[in-house]
Amino acid sequence: MKADPNLYGYWPYINRPKITWPGGKKLAFWLAPNIEFYELDPPANPNRKSWPRPYPDITGYSYRDHGNRVGHWRLMEMMDEFGIRGSVSLSTAMCQHHPEIIEACNQRKWEFFSHGIYNTRYTYGMSRAQEDAMIKDSIQTVFEATGQKVRGYLAPALTHSEHTIELLAENDIWYSCDLFQDDQPQPLKIEGHKKLISMPYSLEVNDHYAFNVYGQSAQQYSDLLIRHFDQLLEEGGDSGTVMCIPVHAYLIGRAHRMGPFRQVLEHIAAHKDDVWISTAAEIAAYYRDHCYDAALESIASYRKKGE
Amino acid sequence: MTLPEDYLSYPHRKHGMDHTLYPYSNLFERKAVHWPESKTVALWVTVCLEYFPLVPNDGPVRAPGAMVTPYPDYRTYTAREYGNRVGVFRILKVLDALGVKASFPINAAIATRYPFLLDEITKRGHEVVGHGVDMNGVSAGGMDPAVEAAQIKEALDVLRANSGQPVKGWLSPARSESENTFSILAKNGVKYCCDWVNDDMPYTMQTPSGNVLSMPHTYELEDRHLLTVLGQNEETYQAQIMNAFSLFTQESKKYGGRILHLSLTPYVIGQAWRIKTLKEVLERLVKSGHVWTATGDEIAQYWQAGQD
Interface check B8 vs A, CB under 8 A? yes
Domain presence at residue A154: yes
% of chain B residues with pLDDT over 70: 100
Which residues of chain B neighbour A255 with C-beta distances below 8 Å? 200, 243-244, 247-248, 251, 258, 260
B210 backbone φψ class: left, alpha, beta (φ>0; ψ -120 to 50): left
- Averaged pLDDT of chain B: 97
Domain presence at residue A11: no
Interface check A60 vs B, CB under 8 A? no
Alpha carbon separation from A185 to A7, A116, A235 (Å, rounded): 13, 22, 14
Q: In 3D, which of B221, B67, B33 has the Cα closest to residue A255? A: B221
Is the CB of A126 less than 8 angstroms away from the CB of B3? yes
Domain presence at residue B23: no
pLDDT of residue B1: 66
Chain B: closest CA distance from residue A156 (Å)? 13
pLDDT of residue A189: 94
CA atoms within 13 A on the CB side of B62: 11
Is the CB of A56 less than 8 angstroms away from the CB of B19? yes
Candidates A97, A215, A257; nearest CB to B232: A215
CB B167 within 8 A of CB B160: yes
Candidates A125, A211, A259; nearest CB to B3: A125
Please provide the distance, in angstroms rounded to a whole number, between the alpha carbons at the two ends of chain A.
21
- The rounded average pLDDT for each run of 10 residues, N- to C-terminus, in chain A (307 residues) is 94 97 98 98 97 97 98 98 98 98 98 98 98 98 98 98 97 98 95 91 95 96 98 98 98 98 98 98 98 96 79
Domain presence at residue B5: no
Q: What is the pLDDT of residues B36-65, one digit of tens each?
A: 999 999 999 999 999 999 999 988 999 999
pLDDT of residue B216: 98
> What range defines the domain where residue A104 resides?
22-300
Q: In 3D, which of B172, B160, B81, B165 has the Cα closest to residue B124? A: B165
pLDDT of residue B58: 86
Interface check A25 vs B, CB under 8 A? no
Is the CB of A96 less than 8 angstroms away from the CB of B13? yes
Which residues of chain B neighbour A118 with C-beta distances below 8 Å? 10
Domain count, chain B: 1
Tell me the DSSP string of A75-132: HHHHHHHHTPPBEEEE-TTHHHH-HHHHHHHHHTT-EEEE--S-TTS--TT--HHHHH
Residues 62-81 in A contacting B (C-alpha not used; CB under 8 Å): 62-66, 68-70, 73-74
**Strand bridging mode A197-198 / A186-187:** antiparallel
Is the CB of B236 less than 8 angstroms away from the CB of A219? yes
CA–CA distance, A174 with A187 (Å, rounded to integer): 10
Is the CB of A96 less than 8 angstroms away from the CB of B15? yes
Alpha carbon separation from A109 to A147, B31, B96, B154 (Å, rounded): 11, 29, 53, 55
Domain presence at residue B124: yes
pLDDT of residue B71: 97
CA–CA distance, B3 with A53 (Å, rounded to integer): 22
CA–CA distance, A197 with A195 (Å, rounded to integer): 6
* C-alpha angle B104-B109-B112 in degrees, rounded to nearest 5: 95
Domain presence at residue A138: yes
Domain presence at residue B209: yes
pLDDT of residue A202: 86
CB B292 within 8 A of CB B36: yes
CA–CA distance, A301 with A210 (Å, rounded to integer): 37
Domain presence at residue A10: no
Chain B: closest CA distance from residue A182 (Å)? 29
Q: What is the number of H-type helices and E-type strands within chain B? A: 11, 9
CA–CA distance, A20 with A237 (Å, rounded to integer): 8
CA–CA distance, B260 with B280 (Å, rounded to integer): 16
Domain presence at residue A9: no
Chain A: closest CA distance from residue B124 (Å)? 30
Domain presence at residue A230: yes
> What range defines the domain where residue B238 resides?
30-305
CB A199 within 8 A of CB A177: yes
CB B49 within 8 A of CB B267: no
Which residues of chain B neighbour A211 with C-beta distances below 8 Å? 230
**3-class DSSP state of A48:** strand
**Strand bridging mode B127-130 / B103-106:** parallel
Tell me the DSSP string of A245-270: EEEEHHHHTSHHHHHHHHHHHHHHHH
CB A67 within 8 A of CB B200: no
Domain presence at residue A293: yes
CA–CA distance, A232 with A95 (Å, rounded to integer): 35
CA atoms within 13 A on the CB side of B4: 7
Domain presence at residue A182: yes
Candidates A37, A59, A256; nearest CB to B240: A256
| Residue B122 burial (C-beta neighbours within 10 Å; 0-12, 13-18, 19+) | middle
CB B260 within 8 A of CB B288: no
CA–CA distance, A28 with A268 (Å, rounded to integer): 11
Is the CB of B244 less than 8 angstroms away from the CB of A256? yes
Q: What is the CATH number of the domain that holds A122?
A: 3.20.20.370
* C-alpha angle B62-B240-A213 in degrees, rounded to nearest 5: 50
Domain count, chain A: 1
Domain presence at residue B15: no
User: For residue B201, what is the nearest residue in chain A, using CA coordinates?
Assistant: A70
Is the CB of B240 less than 8 angstroms away from the CB of A100? no
- The helix or strand, by DSSP H or E, that contains position B91, with its residue range, turns out to be helix B88-98
Gyration radius of chain A over CA positions: 19
CA–CA distance, B137 with B174 (Å, rounded to integer): 9
pLDDT class for B122, splitting at 50, 70, 90? very high
Q: What is the CATH number of the domain that holds B131?
A: 3.20.20.370
Residues in Cβ contact with A293 at an 8 Å cutoff, skipping those fewer than 6 apart = none
Is the CB of B179 less than 8 angstroms away from the CB of A55? yes
Task: Please give the biggest Cα pair distance in chain A.
Answer: 56
